[in-house]
């Protein structure tokens, strides 16, 4: 407008343009002041699970003595590239603004510093000024657990549930009938309601009979590997899903009181015991930081399988399709291979986001 | 949409600053203009609000917050009002100076004008007369708001002359131009001739002028542009100006003043001749060069058609009288012309808008006179004025600036032929100052004239009360600024200190919880950080200090902090009492 005013010899244009420039300078200066001496803080759980909502408290403290802060936007970047944003219309001098949000982090991860961006268009929206800060707070995002469908098919682990006797028995792998107790039958297979009725009539105990027999380990050895033969394509998302399957397996077995040992290539095949809840949480925290092992060979996997105790059932999880590694396994009922290609089984999503 | 509204706000602010006929004062217009701009900007920024979750300040806004914020906003707006109301004229000067510099970068001779705005309309106070090619445009659109600034003073030698002048139309001439190309009047530049005092002006064809010469003294300030033109009563005979430069037939330039704080003062003698006084004498057209009879080709047909209206009149006097009556009766005087079709200003005046100011009347009359075979030219200067009888002093202000036609008659030379309607606004007539009024001292007035204080347009505050208004504005601004500061300082001392500096202040712990924690500490079971109230109550039960009112305490505490229960002071008081009783009983055990 100043140039236009000068060219047309119109003083009013020059004046309005000059005022516009003055307003712009004033707004820029005020915007800079508006972002000075502000401290953001966050309060949130130290350990959260990917895909699960949690409460996060965002606080913005204004340490200025006289000038209030107006129209501030706060963006906090959490692990997994999740960004939480909030708008603080007014923060009085020496005071704080606060809000509590429901946060969700889609992918596992770990971070002890979090970038925070404060931005503002105050006072008149002419400029978007921003200021970058870093918050120090350790946050661990454990993988989202996905229970493999193999663990619940063919009647596997059904009897471990206290209410299994109430099953309708119409589906494959479910109880097919009840028979008299025989020597050698596990006490865990006794169907107590039917036994009570039978005993009342003077008969023996009744046990459930399954068809076909399921997977009922007393203790389990979980092997995780990233080996594949052939030319199978590497997919980062499948690794994340495999980690989720590993976590889900662990939680499922832990919930049924089955002690586990984990051997994984990303742990350099060092066996990790997971017999208590505390050990499981420690492993989950570890799993938040792991990275895919890239040099796994077939002999590594063979050696890991060979080292498993015969008393342990073996569950093998991989981020590669079973076709490329099942040929290494001996045909045994005690080994369960988890297929990475399973989708949408008992979970809202199996697409674990990459972190 | 919001950008459109912002543009409308800017246009509105511009219109308000520009003003209109009968518009309010500049201060009010500047206030409204700034308010319009701020409203536009506010709306513009409002459209960018996001729908993000809101963070709420832990302290509720108090009346002091609203007051201080309001005061700051008003203070800022007031600053801009002062800027817009005081810097309008300097901004116009800047724009004009740049425009002049860009339009006429080459100076001719020693008489280099610093400006060449072609407007000689009163509001520029005669500061911009013509460009360095001795040309002056007829503006296609005009909206003049002349000021009251005194510009020229004429001190007459005796009362008789003053009375004689007062009873007739006075034309104080600065310069005249003869060549017209349809838009621009121009004077033929001659070789610059230096004249020394006493200067006698050529009067070869004035043998029939018999009026008594009028001796007078002229006072005026130097023109800030350097265009210091000799100003005399029409029909100049001689002058005692020490030196003059003649650059055209009717343009004489004064030498620069030696002292910038002093103005021009020189005496002269004139024999003004007005056509009105010659009506009974049957004057005839003088023989002269063709320049004074030329009509631009693009206007010739229309002008000759207009001249046809008067050609049937029996003699020259009647023709010219009829022409003057025709223009005064059929055209309206107005300082504002819109020229919506953007046509030639003369055509717009004669055929379309039919209104204009003195320059339009004078130009039209000059061209029609030429079509009638009468040599004519246009003259610029002042007319009217205020007479201070006791001092024999005429004072001419900026709004007395005027333009008129001069025709050349045989034996009379150049004669004033003023066709502008005669009233107070158009061709001003001389007025008498109230009896006892003190006239401005010409020497002081011209010396004290601030060259920078050119009332470029109506944006400038009135000259006589400008300082007063500015002072009031400054006082108001100071008061507002002090109010802002006082509110902010009051807020600073009033605001509660944060809990821990650097950490977010949280909601204060209620009294019953403080009592509970204190009691637990004294009983040797301090409530550790991270323990919930329920956990701690269970821990107390385990250690043999059970709370009989545990369920009541838990219900209320969790209901208030995590449920929808409102705080209840009586319940809190009862809980505090229960805690005290529990503490006393536990401490006795």
Lowest mean pLDDT among A177-191, B364-378, B469-483, B540-554: B469-483
User: Is residue B341, in this structure, part of any structural domain at all?
Assistant: yes
Listed as own residue / partner, the contacts of B467-476 with beta carbons closer than 8 Å and 24 or more positions apart are B469/B27, B470/B86, B473/B27, B473/B78, B473/B81, B473/B82, B473/B85, B473/B86, B474/B82, B476/B78
B184-186: strand order across its sheet: B135-137, B184-186, B179-180
Residue ending a domain, among B382, B407, B438, is B438
> Which run of H or of E encompasses B167?
none
pLDDT tens digits, A45-63: 988 999 889 999 999 988 8
Do B45 and A121 lie within an 8 Å CB cutoff?
yes
pLDDT-based confidence at residue B448 (cuts at 50, 70, 90): very low
Chain A contact set for B491 (CB, 8 A): 66, 93
Closest by Cα among B79, B259, B196, B242 to A23:
B79
- Chain A's closest residue to B6, CA to CA, is A124
Question: What pLDDT does residue A33 have?
Answer: 92
Residue ending a domain, among B388, B421, B438, is B438
Please work out, in degrees rounded to the nearest 5, the angle formed at the alpha carbon of residue B539 by the alpha carbons of B534 and B541.
Answer: 95
pLDDT-based confidence at residue B102 (cuts at 50, 70, 90): low
- Chain A's closest residue to B43, CA to CA, is A124
Helix (H, G, I), strand (E, B) or coil at A29: helix
Closest by Cα among B556, B251, B505 to B380:
B251
Closest by Cα among B209, B196, B275, B274 to B238:
B196
pLDDT, average across residues B213-223: 85
User: What is the secondary structure of B91-129 as a DSSP string?
Assistant: HHHHHHHHHHHHH--S--SS---S------SSTTTTS--
pLDDT-based confidence at residue B50 (cuts at 50, 70, 90): low
Is A210 in contact with A308 (CB distance < 8 Å)? no
Q: B231: distance to nearest CA of chain A, Å?
A: 28
Helices B297-311 and B316-330 meet at what angle, rounded to 10?
110
User: Is residue B339, in this structure, part of any structural domain at all?
Assistant: yes
Chain A contact set for B80 (CB, 8 A): 19, 22-23
Structural domain span for residue B549: 513-588
Question: What pLDDT does residue A176 have?
Answer: 62
**What count of residues does chain A have?**
355
Chain A contact set for B87 (CB, 8 A): 15, 18
pLDDT-based confidence at residue A333 (cuts at 50, 70, 90): low
Helix (H, G, I), strand (E, B) or coil at B318: helix
Closest by Cα among A63, A62, A45, A41 to A54:
A45
pLDDT, average across residues B571-579: 92
| Rounded percentage of chain A residues whose pLDDT exceeds 70 | 86
pLDDT-based confidence at residue B555 (cuts at 50, 70, 90): very high
Closest Cβ opposite residue A86 in set B55, B76, B504: B55
Tell me how far apart the alpha carbons of residues B304 and B297 are, in angstroms, rounded to a whole number: 11
Residue ending a domain, among B390, B405, B438, is B438
Whether the pTM exceeds 0.80: the reply is no
Do A66 and B488 lie within an 8 Å CB cutoff?
yes
Do B91 and A14 lie within an 8 Å CB cutoff?
yes
pLDDT tens digits, B241-280: 888 888 888 888 888 877 656 788 888 998 888 888 888 8
**A3-42 burial by CB neighbour count: b if 16+ within 10 A, else e?**
eebbeebbbbbbbbbbbbeebeebbeebbeebbeebbbbb
Strands A109-120 and A96-104: unpaired
Question: What pLDDT does residue B114 have?
Answer: 37
Q: Maximum distance among all alpha carbons in chain A?
A: 116
| Rounded percentage of chain B residues whose pLDDT exceeds 70 | 83
Chain A contact set for B41 (CB, 8 A): 23, 124-126
Question: What pLDDT does residue B468 have?
Answer: 56
Q: Is the pLDDT of residue B370 over 80?
A: yes
* For the ranges A4-18, A139-153, A288-302, B259-273, the one whose mean pLDDT is highest: A288-302
- Chain B's closest residue to A6, CA to CA, is B95
pLDDT-based confidence at residue B43 (cuts at 50, 70, 90): confident
Question: What pLDDT does residue B497 have?
Answer: 53
Question: What pLDDT does residue B22 have?
Answer: 65
pLDDT-based confidence at residue A351 (cuts at 50, 70, 90): very low
Question: What pLDDT does residue B444 have?
Answer: 67
Please work out, in degrees rounded to the nearest 5, the angle formed at the alpha carbon of residue B226 by the alpha carbons of B220 and B227.
Answer: 70
Question: What pLDDT does residue B118 have?
Answer: 40
Same domain, B176 and B323: yes
B251-253: strand order across its sheet: B189-196, B243-248, B251-253
Closest by Cα among A144, A150, A49 to A103:
A49
Question: What pLDDT does residue A244 have?
Answer: 92
Q: How many CB pairs under 8 A join A and B?
A: 153
Helix (H, G, I), strand (E, B) or coil at A317: strand
Question: What pLDDT does residue B427 have?
Answer: 52
pLDDT-based confidence at residue B556 (cuts at 50, 70, 90): very high
Do B53 and A87 lie within an 8 Å CB cutoff?
yes
The separation between the first and the last C-alpha atoms of chain B, rounded to the nearest angstrom, is: 77
Same domain, B402 and B525: no
Domain A37-142 listed as CATH 2.60.40.10: yes
The separation between the first and the last C-alpha atoms of chain A, rounded to the nearest angstrom, is: 50
Closest Cβ opposite residue A16 in set B13, B42, B59: B13
Closest by Cα among A247, A252, A241, A315 to A284:
A247
Question: What pLDDT does residue B21 have?
Answer: 60
Chain B contact set for A19 (CB, 8 A): 37, 80, 83-84
pLDDT-based confidence at residue A123 (cuts at 50, 70, 90): confident
Do A98 and B456 lie within an 8 Å CB cutoff?
no
Chain A contact set for B116 (CB, 8 A): none
Chain A contact set for B504 (CB, 8 A): 41, 59, 61, 96, 98
Same domain, B411 and B535: no
User: Is residue B479, in this structure, part of any structural domain at all?
Assistant: no
Beta strand extents in B433-565 (DSSP E only) = none
Site from B35, B50, B95, B103 to mutate, A interface, most A CB atoms within 10 angstroms = B95
| Rounded percentage of chain B residues whose pLDDT exceeds 90 | 9
pLDDT tens digits, A22-41: 888 988 999 999 999 898 98
Question: What pLDDT does residue B207 have?
Answer: 76
Q: Is the pLDDT of residue B463 over 50?
A: no
Q: B539: distance to nearest CA of chain A, Å?
A: 23
Closest Cβ opposite residue B52 in set A63, A87, A126: A87
Do A16 and B459 lie within an 8 Å CB cutoff?
no
Q: Is the pLDDT of residue A164 over 70?
A: no
Question: What pLDDT does residue B47 have?
Answer: 58
Tell me how far apart the alpha carbons of residues A92 and A242 are, in angstroms, rounded to a whole number: 49
Q: Is the pLDDT of residue A165 over 70?
A: no
Question: What pLDDT does residue B151 have?
Answer: 82
Do B91 and A89 lie within an 8 Å CB cutoff?
no
pLDDT tens digits, B130-179: 777 788 888 777 877 777 777 888 888 888 888 888 877 788 888 999 88
| Rounded percentage of chain A residues whose pLDDT exceeds 90 | 32
User: Is residue B452, in this structure, part of any structural domain at all?
Assistant: no
Closest Cβ opposite residue A98 in set B50, B58, B498: B58
Lowest mean pLDDT among A103-117, A150-164, B96-110, B451-465: B451-465
Do B502 and A19 lie within an 8 Å CB cutoff?
no
pLDDT-based confidence at residue B377 (cuts at 50, 70, 90): very high
Closest by Cα among B88, B82, B80 to B460:
B88
Q: A355: distance to nearest CA of chain B, Å?
A: 25
- Of the two residues A251 and A19, the one the predictor is more confident about is A251
Question: What pLDDT does residue B502 have?
Answer: 40
Mean pLDDT of chain B: 79
Q: Is the pLDDT of residue B512 over 70?
A: yes
Closest Cβ opposite residue B92 in set A11, A59, A61: A11
Question: What pLDDT does residue A210 have?
Answer: 66
pLDDT, average across residues A174-190: 77
State the total domains in chain B: 2
pLDDT-based confidence at residue A264 (cuts at 50, 70, 90): very high
Instruction: State both tokens at A121.
Output: 């268009």
Question: What pLDDT does residue B264 have?
Answer: 85
Q: Is the pLDDT of residue A180 over 70?
A: yes
B376-383: strand order across its sheet: B232-233, B171-177, B376-383, B401-409, B413-417
Mean pLDDT of chain A: 83
Closest Cβ opposite residue B57 in set A13, A92, A121: A92
Q: Is the pLDDT of residue B373 over 60?
A: yes
- Of the two residues B236 and B146, the one the predictor is more confident about is B236
User: Is residue B306, in this structure, part of any structural domain at all?
Assistant: yes
- Chain A's closest residue to B501, CA to CA, is A63
Same domain, B431 and B522: no
pLDDT tens digits, A59-79: 998 888 788 899 899 999 988
For chain A, what are the domain ranges?
A: 37-142, 158-210, 217-337
pLDDT, average across residues A191-205: 91
Chain B contact set for A126 (CB, 8 A): 41, 45
Closest Cβ opposite residue B95 in set A10, A89, A97: A10
pLDDT tens digits, A284-309: 999 999 999 988 898 999 999 989 98
Do A93 and B459 lie within an 8 Å CB cutoff?
no
In this prediction, the answer to ipTM > 0.90 reads no
Closest Cβ opposite residue A65 in set B84, B91, B492: B492
Please name the residue that has the structure tokens 């030219």: B377
pLDDT, average across residues A182-186: 80
Do B50 and A89 lie within an 8 Å CB cutoff?
no
pLDDT, average across residues B497-501: 47
């Amino acid at each position: 407008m100043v140039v236009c005013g000068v060219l047309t010899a119109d003083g009013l244009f020059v004046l309005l343009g000059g005022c516009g420039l003055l307003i712009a300078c004033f707004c820029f200066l005020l915007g800079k002041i508006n972002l000075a001496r502000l401290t953001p803080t966050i309060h949130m759980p130290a350990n959260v699970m990917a895909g699960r909502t949690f409460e996060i408290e965002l606080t913005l403290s204004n340490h200025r003595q006289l000038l209030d802060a107006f129209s501030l936007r706060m963006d906090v970047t959490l692990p997994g590239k999740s960004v939480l944003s909030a708008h603080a219309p007014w923060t009085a001098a020496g005071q704080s603004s606060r809000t509590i949000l429901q946060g969700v982090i889609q992918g596992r991860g770990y971070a002890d510093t979090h970038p925070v961006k404060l931005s503002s268009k105050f006072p008149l929206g002419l400029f978007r000024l921003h200021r970058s800060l870093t918050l120090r707070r350790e946050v661990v995002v454990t993988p989202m657990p996905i229970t493999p469908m193999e663990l619940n098919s063919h009647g596997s682990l059904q009897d471990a549930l206290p209410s299994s006797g109430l099953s309708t028995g119409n589906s494959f792998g479910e109880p097919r009938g009840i028979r008299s107790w025989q020597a050698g039958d596990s006490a865990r297979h006794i169907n107590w309601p039917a036994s009570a009725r039978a005993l009342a009539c003077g008969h023996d105990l009744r046990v459930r009979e399954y068809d076909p027999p399921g997977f009922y380990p007393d203790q389990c050895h979980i092997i995780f590997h990233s080996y594949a033969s052939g030319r199978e394509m590497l997919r980062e998302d499948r690794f994340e899903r495999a980690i989720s399957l590993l976590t889900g397996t662990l939680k499922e077995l832990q919930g049924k009181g089955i002690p586990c040992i984990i051997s994984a290539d990303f742990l350099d095949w060092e066996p990790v015991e997971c017999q208590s809840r505390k050990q499981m949480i420690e492993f989950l925290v570890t799993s938040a930081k792991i990275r895919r092992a890239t040099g796994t060979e077939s002999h590594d996997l063979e050696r890991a399988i060979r080292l498993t105790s015969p008393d342990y059932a073996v569950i093998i999880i991989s981020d590669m399709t079973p076709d490329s590694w099942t040929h290494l396994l001996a045909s045994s009922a005690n080994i369960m291979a988890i297929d990475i290609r399973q989708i949408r089984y008992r979970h809202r999503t199996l697409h674990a986001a990459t972190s | 949409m919001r950008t459109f509204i912002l543009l409308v706000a800017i246009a509105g602010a511009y219109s308000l600053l520009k003003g209109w006929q009968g518009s309010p004062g500049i201060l009010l217009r500047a206030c409204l203009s700034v308010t319009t701009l701020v409203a536009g900007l506010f709306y513009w920024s409002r459209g960018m609000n996001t729908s993000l979750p809101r963070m709420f300040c832990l302290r509720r806004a108090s009346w002091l917050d609203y007051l201080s914020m309001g005061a700051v906003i008003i203070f800022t707006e007031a600053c801009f009002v002062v800027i817009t109301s005081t810097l309008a004229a300097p901004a116009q000067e800047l724009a004009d100076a740049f425009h002049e510099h860009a339009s006429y970068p080459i100076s001719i001779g020693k008489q280099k004008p610093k400006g060449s705005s072609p407007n000689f309309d009163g509001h520029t106070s005669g500061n911009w007369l013509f460009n360095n090619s001795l040309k002056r445009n007829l503006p296609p659109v005009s909206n003049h708001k002349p000021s009251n600034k005194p510009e020229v003073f004429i001190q007459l030698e005796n009362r008789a002359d003053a009375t004689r002048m007062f009873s007739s139309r006075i034309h104080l001439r600065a310069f005249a131009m003869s060549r017209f190309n349809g838009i621009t009047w121009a004077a033929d530049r001659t070789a610059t001739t230096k004249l020394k005092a006493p200067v006698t002006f050529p009067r070869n064809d004035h043998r029939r002028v018999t009026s008594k010469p009028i001796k007078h003294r002229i006072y005026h300030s130097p023109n800030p542009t350097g265009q210091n033109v000799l100003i005399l009563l029409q029909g100049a005979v001689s002058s005692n100006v020490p030196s003059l430069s003649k650059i055209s037939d009717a343009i004489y330039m004064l030498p620069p003043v030696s002292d910038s704080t002093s103005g021009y003062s020189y005496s002269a003698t004139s024999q003004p001749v007005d056509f009105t006084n010659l009506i009974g004498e049957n004057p005839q057209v003088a023989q002269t060069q063709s320049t004074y009879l030329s009509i631009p080709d693009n206007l010739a047909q229309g002008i000759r058609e207009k001249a046809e209206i008067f050609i049937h009149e029996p003699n020259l006097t009647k023709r010219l009288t009829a022409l003057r009556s025709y223009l005064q009766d059929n055209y309206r005087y107005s300082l504002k012309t819109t020229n919506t079709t953007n046509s030639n200003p003369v055509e717009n005046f004669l055929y379309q808008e039919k209104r204009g100011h003195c320059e339009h009347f004078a130009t039209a009359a000059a061209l029609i006179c030429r079509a009638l075979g009468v040599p004519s030219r246009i003259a610029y200067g002042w007319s009217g004025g205020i007479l201070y009888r006791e001092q024999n002093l005429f004072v001419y202000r900026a709004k007395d600036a005027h333009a008129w036609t001069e025709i050349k008659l045989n034996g009379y030379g150049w004669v004033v032929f003023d066709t502008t309607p005669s009233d107070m606004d158009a061709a001003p007539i001389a007025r008498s100052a109230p009896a006892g009024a003190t006239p401005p001292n010409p020497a002081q007035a011209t010396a004290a004239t601030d060259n920078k204080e050119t009332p470029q347009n109506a944006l400038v505050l009135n000259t006589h009360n400008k300082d007063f208004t500015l002072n009031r504005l400054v006082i108001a601004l100071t008061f507002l600024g002090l109010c802002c500061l006082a509110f902010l300082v009051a807020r600073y001392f009033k605001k509660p200190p944060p809990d821990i500096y650097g950490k977010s202040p949280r909601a204060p712990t209620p009294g019953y919880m403080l009592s509970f924690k204190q009691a637990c500490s004294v009983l040797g079971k301090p409530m550790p950080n991270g323990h919930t109230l329920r956990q701690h109550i269970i821990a107390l039960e385990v250690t043999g200090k059970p709370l009989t009112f545990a369920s009541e305490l838990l219900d209320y505490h969790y209901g208030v902090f995590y449920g929808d229960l409102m705080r209840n002071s009586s319940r809190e008081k009862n809980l505090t009492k229960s805690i005290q009783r529990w503490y006393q009983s536990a401490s006795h055990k």
